Amino acid sequence: MRRPNYRRRIQIVRIQNQTSRQATFSKRRFGLFKKASELSTLCGANVGIVVYSPSNKVYSFGHPSVESIVERFLGEDPTASTNDPNPMIIAQQNANEDEINRKLNTLERELEKEKKRGQTLQALRTESSHEKLDFPGLKSLFEALEAAHEEVERVVSQLLEADEVFPYQTIGSALDPLIVRENTSSNFDEGSSQSSE
């Protein structure tokens, strides 16, 4: 026989697990702001809430705005029109727009680099197979593979420095065939001397 699915009552004490505490904070903050919005809509009340998270980030909700509620509470300017744009809010919005524009510009530059890299790889794919390439073609293919290997090593080292977890622990062994050996480069030198003769 199944028990009815009642809501459990939790003991109201500080949550010890930091992850659980942060998740509970986010959920409860959202619920608190939602209730404040409903109170403002249903009753026409002016509501202001400021909350600091456990990680010391500030979150606020206000209707018509947090600043107007605080000013009214402190009695600084109770007659101020709530429809006037607040300079602090406008400055924050401009700062957010500037940050978004910087990120967008960075992403566009990276996209252009990737497009050029993709065009280069596409050009390599459309060329004849490596068995039909002459020595200069093989050498340029080798250099392209070597550059790709260096790029992969650079990204891997950045991820390792950032303590990223890799889904595959054998990534180094998969790249081993691309490592240039000293005798391989000497074979190229011999081939170039033979082809020049």
- Return per-residue pLDDT of the chain as tens, 197 residues: 566 667 778 788 888 888 888 888 888 998 999 999 899 888 888 889 989 888 888 888 888 888 888 888 887 654 555 556 666 667 677 777 878 888 888 999 999 999 988 888 887 776 556 666 778 888 888 898 899 999 988 888 887 877 765 555 444 545 444 444 444 444 444 444 444 44
Separation between Cα atoms, residue 178 and residue 137, nearest integer Å: 17
Nearest residue to 70 (alpha-carbon basis) of 56, 89, 96: 89
**H-type alpha helices, 45-181:** 66-74, 87-126, 135-161, 171-175
pTM of the model: 0.36
Q: Which residue type is seen at 61?
A: F
Is cis: bond before 64, omega within 30 of 0?
A: yes
Residue-wise pLDDT for 151-167, tens only, equals 988 888 887 877 765 55
